[in-house]
């Protein structure tokens, strides 16, 4: 799970002024009435999402990696399998993630199987399961011709 955090200042009436100087209202994020906090109270906000969504094929996305080299090699390997794909880059807080997106919806399941799901093909494991700075060990094994 990836968690993004930011801070803000709570003001009367339930307005939160974020560090980016953008304002949001308490009621826009929580259905309850704003708490009776003193103006100027520091608020920590966290957003999280399950990065396994990147493996599901939603909107054509079948893989994600922090490693641009890995993304480009997977893209070229899919092309060799006659599966058209593109690489999209997104920023999540201080992290950059490269997404592999399949162009033809009919090829999504085949690409998922080839990249990570089946016992043949690349057999990769998501690289976000490894500590920061480490490479995806399954990718490096595949790249070097080992099982």
Report pLDDT digits (tens) over 53-99. 888 899 999 998 888 888 999 999 999 999 999 999 988 777 788 99
Query: Do 83 and 102 reside in the same domain of the chain?
Result: yes
User: Is residue 43 domain-shared with residue 60, that is, in the same domain?
Assistant: no
Work out how many domains the chain is built from and give that number: 2
Q: What's the confidence (pLDDT) of residue 29?
A: 86
91 and 136, same structural domain? Answer: yes
24 & 81 share domain = no
Which two structure tokens, joined as six digits, stand for 88? 């999209």
Instruction: Identify the domain containing residue 38 by its residue range.
Output: 2-49
In this structure, what token pair is assigned to residue 79?
A: 């092309």
Indicate whether 101 and 80 sit together in one domain. yes
Same domain, 87 and 133: yes
Question: Which class for 136: exposed (0-12), middle (13-18), buried (19 or more C-beta within 10 A)?
Answer: buried
For residue 131, what pLDDT band results from cuts at 50, 70 and 90? Answer: low
Q: 0.75 exceeded by the pTM? A: no
pLDDT value, residue 80: 94
pLDDT beyond 90 at 104: yes
Q: Are residues 128 and 87 in the same domain?
A: yes
Q: In terms of domains, do 33 and 99 share one?
A: no
- Asked if residues 97 and 66 have their Cβ atoms less than 8 Å apart, the reply is yes
Q: Name the domain boundary from 49, 65, 84.
A: 49
Task: Indicate whether 43 and 91 sit together in one domain.
Answer: no
């Amino acid at each position: 799970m990836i968690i993004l955090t930011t801070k803000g200042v709570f003001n009367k009436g339930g307005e939160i002024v974020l560090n980016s100087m953008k304002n949001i209202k308490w009621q826009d994020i929580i259905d309850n009435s704003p708490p009776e906090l003193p103006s100027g109270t520091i608020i920590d906000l966290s957003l999280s999402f399950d990065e396994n969504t990147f493996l599901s094929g939603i909107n054509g996305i079948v893989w994600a990696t922090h490693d641009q080299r890995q993304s480009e090699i997977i893209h070229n390997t899919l092309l060799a399998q006659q599966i058209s794909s593109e690489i999209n880059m997104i920023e999540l807080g201080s992290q950059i993630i490269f997404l592999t997106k399949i162009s033809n919806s009919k090829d999504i399941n085949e690409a998922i199987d080839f990249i990570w799901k089946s016992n043949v093909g690349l057999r990769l494991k998501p690289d976000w399961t490894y500590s920061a700075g480490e490479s995806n060990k399954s990718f490096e094994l595949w790249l070097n011709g080992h099982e």
